[in-house]
Amino acid sequence: MSSLQDQLLKAGLVDKKTAKKAGKDMRKQQKVAKKSSQPQVDEAKLAAEQARAEKIARDRALNAERDAVAQQKAIAAQIKQMVDTNKQSKGDGDIAYNFTFEKKIKKIYVSAAVQAHLIAGRLVIVGLEGRFELVPKVIAEKILERDPNMVVLAPKHAEPDNEDDPYADYQIPDDLMW
């Protein structure tokens, strides 16, 4: 079997010079095609690597978000457990004790003894799931570490005196009823 080029040469349709030139052109085209196909493979690998890296980044972000949600749920469960195990009785009193919660004035009814403990800072009000419970100051500090928004009436801390305060000489009594 002979090639098409040989057959054309025997038939006299082409001369040796033209056949040689056509062979060179064909080999050049094959080389160019081979070289151009390699970068396409590299581009495909590069695109696959980039897609894999983006997927890993998305997965890490989703895992971090899931972990944060799980941690918030765990903290909420800890707070609920602390409040439920350490809540104090309000004393079934008829004295209204006012406090602020989320920029609103709220009211609970307590006995005189419980009111004295609240004023002294031994008991603290904690907001939990729409209800307000009384817990000891130590428990309130633990809750405050986990979630400061839960503690309605934080334990009193000494505040620095403001020299320019015109009402610095006047003290507001703790048992003031509003």
Taking only the tens place, the pLDDT of each residue in 12-34 is 778 888 888 888 888 888 888 77
Higher pLDDT, 92 or 66: 66
Q: Which domain holds residue 62?
A: 1-86
Q: Which residue, of 86, 117, 141, is where some domain finishes? A: 86
Tally of structural domains, the chain: 2
Q: pTM for the full model? A: 0.55
In this predicted model, what pLDDT tens digit does every residue of 124-159 receive, in sequence order? 898 888 888 899 999 988 888 888 887 876 545 445
pLDDT for res 58: 95
Do 68 and 104 belong to one domain?
no
Tell me if 6 sits within 8 A of 16, measured CB to CB: no
Tell me if 93 sits within 8 A of 115, measured CB to CB: yes
Q: Provide the 8-state DSSP code for 168.
A: T
Residue 10 in tokens:
């025997």
